[in-house]
Structure 1
Amino acid sequence: MTASTSPSTHERSPARLALAAVCLGFVMITLDATIVNLALPAIGAEFGERSTAALQWVVDSYTVALAAFLLTWGEAGDRWGSRRVFEIGVAVFVFASIACAAADSLPWLVAARAVQGAGAAALLPSSLALIVHQFPEAGARARALGVWGGMSGIGLAAGPMLGGLAVGLADWRLVFAVNVPVGLIAIALTRRYVTETTPRRQARIDVVGQVLGTAALASVVAGLIEAGHAGWADVTTLVLVGAGIVAGIAFVVAEKVIAAPVLPLGVLRVRAFAVATAIGGLFNFCLYGTLFCLALFLQRVWHLSALVAGLALVPLTLAVGLNAFVSGRLTHRFGSRLPIVAGSLTALVGAAGLALLPNERSPVLLVVFSLVFGFCSLAMPAMTSLAMNALPGKAGIAAGVLNAARQTGGAVGVALVGGLLPGTAMWVVAGGYGGIVLLTGLLRPQPKGPAS
């Protein structure tokens, strides 16, 4: 019996190590989107900056760059090979992490965070493309995508907790330094166990679309951050938002006429994919905004240390991580709609409860409503499955557009929700989850199971 089962075990080991390599790179992306939240007060104190707007840029410079370069790096993966792009992304990410840890001013840190985001943008689409390539059999691919999606939940949720622990036990710079050994391990495993995809030399990079899309997103996010402390009638706010809108319109016009657009607008005419994309943007808007607000609320209003605040978020992070894995099973059995609706309705209730948290410390209420809110991650793998099934044979485009929408939503969430009072912010989040529930009503019946 041993002789007959041993070969299959040996065959599975390289595949598992390949998946581990891809997931290590991917979890760094999602972890770094939120790990800095609990470190923000310490960063502000060291650089003499207490402005919420300035601290928002420490988060959003990363997220804006990630969203802006996702589709371009996806095209680069098609042209040069996804493994090569993945390795480039990890290398850039590690280099930028070192620069973040060594930052001696806030502008330096913000700039290094933007470079981190650009590296992360190479990692995300190439990681998904490598999974699709590495696991050609439908069942194995579905399981691998479930693990990949679950790691997203763990990374997003564990970020605040690990950030608090790093600041409390050592220094905020550890938040970034920890990426270095993880990235080096990911590169080593990738080179050893991950096979390269077949390059498509005819793939072209849409430089015009890249420039206009980045300008639109950065301008709108900057305008929203400015509005948070200067008001909507402020001249700078109006100029930034107006410039973003103009650039956005120019981007849409350009994408209609360019032969190889970075965003093929035709995919948004597929109803299920358009709905999945909108859900992805709203989901990250709510989750990133919530994690940013809670991190500041626990330290500035409840006056908890970074370490205690990180521990206080453990119930939320555990719930998000566990439910992300549960979602894969639910999606396989019931299709995408049920996990998305169930997760969003439960998160709506949790967000409403968090909006009512008193200014006096109330750990029981925080734990209860955090656990309820943590069911939001039921929607995460489900929305990915919905998007991938909506565009069969176009995994790269589906993944790129969906994740660009998600990161755009996250950047806007930190910019807009982060500038509101905590109670008001969480009511906005609750409304966002209500919007997700309404969006699912636009879906036609979908096939059950993850994308194959």
Structure 2
Amino acid sequence: MVTATPSSVHPRIVLGTCCLSLLLVMMDVTVVNVVLPSIRAQLHGSFSTLQWVVDAYTLMVASLMLLVGSLADRFGRRRMFLLGISLFCAGSALCGLAWSVNMLVLARAVQGIGGSMLNPVALSILTNVYVEPRARAQAIGLWGATSGVALALGPVVGGILVHWVGWQAVFWVNVPIGMIAIALTLRFVPESSGGQGRSIDAPGQLLAIVALAMITSGLIEAHNYGWSSPTISGFLGFGLLSIAGFIIVEQRAASPLIDLRFFRAWPFSGAIVTAVLAFAIFSAFLFLNTLYLQDVRGLPALQAGLCTLPFAFGSMLCAPISGRLTGWYGARLPLLLSAVGFGLSAVMLTGLDATTPLSLLLVSYGLCGCGFGLCNAPITNSAIAGMPRAQAGVAAAIASASRQVGALLGIALGGALTATCIHTGVVQWAGFSQATHAVWWSMVVAAIAIAILGFVSTGARARQSARAVAALLDPN
């Protein structure tokens, strides 16, 4: 049972503390992309290790996000939140101390374990502190808006720190922010729990981690070993077997990590696939363009960070618009507009070369940011549409995890599709622009798929399937 909120609790300070946690996690996404060329130059990492610097973090977040919610309900949300911040800060310090790219990748994994404990637990804390529905909605809205601010600040802060201090500073800056969050949590955040919570599905959790790790490894390392290599075949084959095992285990588990019956609801299935596609576009777009701006165009980190601001501003501008459109007209319209933004931004880059006008790049980045900002509200709305109230939180958590899976696969696939310019792990930058064309065309296809899903998952038959699943999950 949730403990009573102490009279000494200051909800606004609790909200600020939770926003700090989101600032840490989201700023780290864009900061790291900006400093990748500096990391490569100093630590002499290959292209695949740059992918791992990003994906080691995302793999942990994607794999553990659903588990963390159950652990927080069982052992205490405040306790789990503190553990998450502490691990994130420890991982950040290890990143700053890294003397090799392999150590940096391991440190990023530690960061990811901590990061997986922050956002879902912070949302539970806010839900416990803000009891009145309207105040809760406003608090969650402000908390979510922090994501856009962090995306906007990340590239600029990263560029400034790299320019004046060095790439290690982008990790060290997390430590004082995290220490402030720890102090505020200890002083102002009340403990709460959900009793015993859901049972922990250990076999399902293990299979999920193995499946994501194997498939990601296969895609990232393919240009090092070759697609026909037994190593890559083993990675991908074992990943697929793990997915099959996961499905079998989840069908038989008394308290599954993911209730597969959710996927019978078309709006939910559409939201999950859309989340994977949208975040794959986002992560690959940011990863490849950051490398292009610095290693092909020769821009310093600060200028490259400034060039990505249209993406962040587009996302910040369109996110609240998307929320209103979803509330007024449902998920279909914002999903279609999101697909247009993603598609147009990718089409504009299909002829990318070393002399592409900067104005065209900025417009493309802005359109991609608009597409990204427009997709999040309808994804969450579709995921919980028609679900029983008791299941809505789990459905939203699965949608959040699927976003991380998309980001994970976007980096891996983006690298795999640019393999034509990679020889023995070293990028031939003269051919990098041409090699990315396959990625941009793939993004066009993904945008079309998002538009189709926007139609299919929001129609009358889709709503009927959601009602049927709701009746199955909650016969009362």
TM-score norm. by structure 1 comes to 0.90
Over 3 Å counting, the alpha-carbon distance change for 1:338 and 1:245 in structure 2 is same
RMSD over aligned CA atoms reads 2.1
- Between 431-440 and 258-267, report the one with greater CA deviation: 258-267
Secondary structure of the residue that 2:15 maps to in structure 1? Answer: helix
Alignment of 1:33-52 (within 5 A): 33-49=29-45, 51-52=46-47
Alignment of 1:237-276 (within 5 A): 237-276=232-271
Determine the C-alpha separation between the residues in 1 that align with 2:349 and 2:142: 29
Superposed CA deviations along residues 104-147 of structure 1, whole A, max 9, x for unmatched, are 11111100100111111111211222232233333223323322
- Between 70-79 and 204-213, report the one with greater CA deviation: 204-213
How far off its partner does 1:425 sit?
Answer: 1.3
Determine the C-alpha separation between the residues in 1 that align with 2:64 and 2:399: 13
Determine the C-alpha separation between the residues in 2 that align with 1:316 and 1:73: 30
Superposed CA deviations along residues 378-400 of structure 1, whole A, max 9, x for unmatched, are 11233223324443233441232
* Paired position in structure 2 for 1:432: 446
* Paired position in structure 2 for 1:284: 279
Check whether the contact 2:331–2:454 (CA below 8 A) recurs between aligned residues: no
Check whether the contact 1:228–1:416 (CA below 8 A) recurs between aligned residues: no
Please tell me the residue identity of whatever aligns with 2:12.
R
Determine the C-alpha separation between the residues in 1 that align with 2:255 and 2:262: 13
* Paired position in structure 2 for 1:218: 213
- Of 395, 398, 401, the residue aligned with 1:398 is 395
* Paired position in structure 1 for 2:203: 208
How far off its partner does 1:164 sit?
Answer: 2.5
Over 3 Å counting, the alpha-carbon distance change for 1:433 and 1:128 in structure 2 is farther
Superposed CA deviations along residues 194-218 of structure 1, whole A, max 9, x for unmatched, are 3333332253222211211101100
How far off its partner does 1:254 sit?
Answer: 1.2
Check whether the contact 1:146–1:328 (CA below 8 A) recurs between aligned residues: no
Please tell me the residue identity of whatever aligns with 1:413.
G
Determine the C-alpha separation between the residues in 1 that align with 2:318 and 2:225: 39
Please tell me the residue identity of whatever aligns with 1:426.
W
Secondary structure of the residue that 2:352 maps to in structure 1? Answer: coil
Alignment of 1:18-417 (within 5 A): 18-49=14-45, 51-156=46-151, 158-201=153-196, 203-376=198-371, 377-391=373-387, 392-417=389-414
How far off its partner does 1:429 sit?
Answer: 1.7
Unmatched tracts of structure 2, length 5 or more = 1-6, 419-434, 464-476
Determine the C-alpha separation between the residues in 1 that align with 2:187 and 2:382: 32
Determine the C-alpha separation between the residues in 2 that align with 1:268 and 1:132: 26
TM-score norm. by structure 2 comes to 0.86
Determine the C-alpha separation between the residues in 2 that align with 1:388 and 1:77: 21
- Between 273-282 and 26-35, report the one with greater CA deviation: 26-35
Determine the C-alpha separation between the residues in 2 that align with 1:215 and 1:199: 29
Over 3 Å counting, the alpha-carbon distance change for 1:94 and 1:229 in structure 2 is same
Over 3 Å counting, the alpha-carbon distance change for 1:249 and 1:357 in structure 2 is same
Determine the C-alpha separation between the residues in 1 that align with 2:186 and 2:447: 41
Secondary structure of the residue that 2:118 maps to in structure 1? Answer: helix
How far off its partner does 1:66 sit?
Answer: 0.8
Runs of 4+ in 1 over 6 A off after TM superposition: none
Percent identity over the alignment is: 36
Superposed CA deviations along residues 330-387 of structure 1, whole A, max 9, x for unmatched, are 3333333322221221221112112333321521111122222221111123322332
Determine the C-alpha separation between the residues in 2 that align with 1:444 and 1:361: 39
Secondary structure of the residue that 1:233 maps to in structure 2? Answer: coil
Determine the C-alpha separation between the residues in 1 that align with 2:271 and 2:125: 22
Please tell me the residue identity of whatever aligns with 1:117.
G
Determine the C-alpha separation between the residues in 1 that align with 2:125 and 2:456: 31
Please tell me the residue identity of whatever aligns with 2:458.
R
Over 3 Å counting, the alpha-carbon distance change for 1:53 and 1:193 in structure 2 is same
Check whether the contact 2:72–2:193 (CA below 8 A) recurs between aligned residues: no
How far off its partner does 1:69 sit?
Answer: 0.7
Please tell me the residue identity of whatever aligns with 2:15.
L
Determine the C-alpha separation between the residues in 1 that align with 2:278 and 2:214: 22
Determine the C-alpha separation between the residues in 2 that align with 1:431 and 1:153: 26
Determine the C-alpha separation between the residues in 1 that align with 2:72 and 2:386: 22
- Between 276-285 and 228-237, report the one with greater CA deviation: 228-237
Check whether the contact 2:162–2:302 (CA below 8 A) recurs between aligned residues: yes
Unmatched tracts of structure 1, length 5 or more = 1-10, 447-452
Over 3 Å counting, the alpha-carbon distance change for 1:331 and 1:187 in structure 2 is farther
Check whether the contact 1:357–1:366 (CA below 8 A) recurs between aligned residues: no
Superposed CA deviations along residues 208-239 of structure 1, whole A, max 9, x for unmatched, are 11211101100000001122444422222211
